[in-house]
Structure 1
Amino acid sequence: MTAPTALAQLFQYKRWANEELLALGEASQAALPADDYRLFVRILNHTYVVDRIFASHLQGLPQTAYAATNTEETPPLPSLREAVRASDDWYLQYASGLAETQLAEPLKFRFTDGDTGTMTRGEILNHIVVHGTYHRGAAGRILAVHSVPLPRDSLTTFLHRLQPERRWS
């Protein structure tokens, strides 16, 4: 498997895992106290904002939409779910269209705090996948504290649902 193919698969997984957790969060709103529900949404909004910031960097566009890595207002979860789905679709398409040489290309950018950075396209894409996984786990813990059964959203579950023939006896 080539690096671009592996990255595309990880973004397919990211899209699936986000959808699983966002749908569960939406369905579980009544089970959470208002402050915990808000925190759940804010954590996932943070990952969305970071995804969009780095999408600008990947495209070589000035990042002017966000002054920080989260928004002041907490969006309604259904709106966030739609925005995350569109962002995940963009990343999947973007990652699927890259060549090995493009993954190694260094990009210079400015963080929201004004500091500067340089990462390769591949490093940025890896960051987006890992960052989202970390924060889905944090958001999931909020659900678990209130006895909401968590989705089985691991990469292994995703791969075996995508290709059930991987199961053998």
Structure 2
Amino acid sequence: MKTIKRMMEHQLWANRELLSGVRESGKDNREALKLLRHIAVAEQVWITRLSGESSGKLQLWTDDAELASLTELIASNESRYAAFMDGLTEERLDDIVTYANQSGTVFHTSIRDILTHVALHGQYHRGQINRVLREASGEPKALDFILYARLS
């Protein structure tokens, strides 16, 4: 349980750091914003499913990302995940969540596997955003877990 909680705390910290990096770049980098939006909406999708609600109305990929709306969505996700994690026990980690993906296909997945996926999925795309920032002469953000561990 402690490891999953640390992974989720890192994920939320890394999102804030990367949002700051995109903001600091001072550029309207559409690719970085699109990827950051994808991370935020994917996290919204999963917390919605973990809450027993349908995520069918949420679009994972669009080209209309704006920094202000992403800031709000990331803050909302952080609040929702924090509340979910506060109420989660070791015994519930292997509970099965039944949900439909964006195409309507039904799946059954443990809470443990969903949270692990959320943490790893975000890490992949944050790396892509850092590459985009570097290519646009921006400053990539250091987001490794070990840095988070040293700071916390």
Question: TM-score, normalization: structure 1?
Answer: 0.82
- Distance (Å, rounded) in 2 between the aligned partners of 1:43 and 1:82: 16
How many residue pairs align between the two structures?
Answer: 152
- Percent identity over the alignment? 23
- CA shift for structure 1 position 73: 5.0
Matching residue of 1:48 = 40
2:126 match: secondary structure? helix
Matching residue of 1:85 = 75
Bigger drift between 7-16 and 126-135 goes to 7-16
| 1:1-169 pair list within 5 angstroms | 3=1, 5-30=2-27, 37-66=29-58, 68-70=59-61, 72=62, 74-162=64-152
- Give 4+ residue runs of structure 1 displaced > 4 Å after superposition: none
Report the AA paired with residue 137 of structure 1.
G
Per-residue CA distance 1:130-159 (angstroms, 9 max, x = gap): 111111111111001123222211110111
Report the AA paired with residue 17 of structure 1.
A
Report the AA paired with residue 143 of structure 2.
D
- Asked whether the 8 Å contact 1:40–1:142 carries over to 2, the reply is yes
1:108 match: secondary structure? strand
1:29 match: secondary structure? coil
Report the AA paired with residue 54 of structure 1.
W
Bigger drift between 37-46 and 85-94 goes to 85-94
Per-residue CA distance 1:150-169 (angstroms, 9 max, x = gap): 2211110111111xxxxxxx
- Distance (Å, rounded) in 1 between the aligned partners of 2:68 and 2:48: 24
Larger radius of gyration: 1
- Asked whether the 8 Å contact 2:134–2:140 carries over to 1, the reply is yes
- Asked whether the 8 Å contact 1:8–1:95 carries over to 2, the reply is yes
- Distance (Å, rounded) in 2 between the aligned partners of 1:89 and 1:134: 22
Question: TM-score, normalization: structure 2?
Answer: 0.91
